[in-house]
Amino acid sequence: MLLVREVFHCKPGQVRPLVEKFRKMSQVGEKMGMPRMRILTDVAGAEYWTLVAEMEVSDLAAFEKMMPGPQMSADDMKAFESAMSGYHDLVDHGRREIYRIES
């Protein structure tokens, strides 16, 4: 089992709009059979305005199947695009972390 974490450092004051986008994206994904996404925001840390979205997947192949691409229906692709429209305007930088769950 793997834990996939998407870590975003938002522009000042923009974490709340990004939280709302990720909530919508998580709802769309769940309708498509994807695992529920946990959405976390920082209380303290090296950088303010941090959002972490994480989900558990069985393996990398399962994660790759969730990536937008030809396997998605046109309606699902439109729903994802609508949910995340303009998110680049909210984010300064980010990264993906993938961890093996040991226990």
Q: Any idea which of 25-29, 42-46, 65-69, 81-85 has the lowest mean pLDDT?
A: 65-69
Q: How many domains does the chain have?
A: 1
CA distance 38 to 27: 11
CATH number at residue 37: 3.30.70.100
Identify whether the C-beta of residue 48 lies closer than 8 Å to the C-beta of residue 82.
Answer: no
Query: Between the CA of residue 16 and those of 3, 8, 77, what are the distances in Å?
Result: 23, 12, 24
**pLDDT higher than 70, residue 63:** yes
Percent of the chain at pLDDT > 70 equals 96
Give the pTM. 0.87
Domain containing 34 equals: 2-100
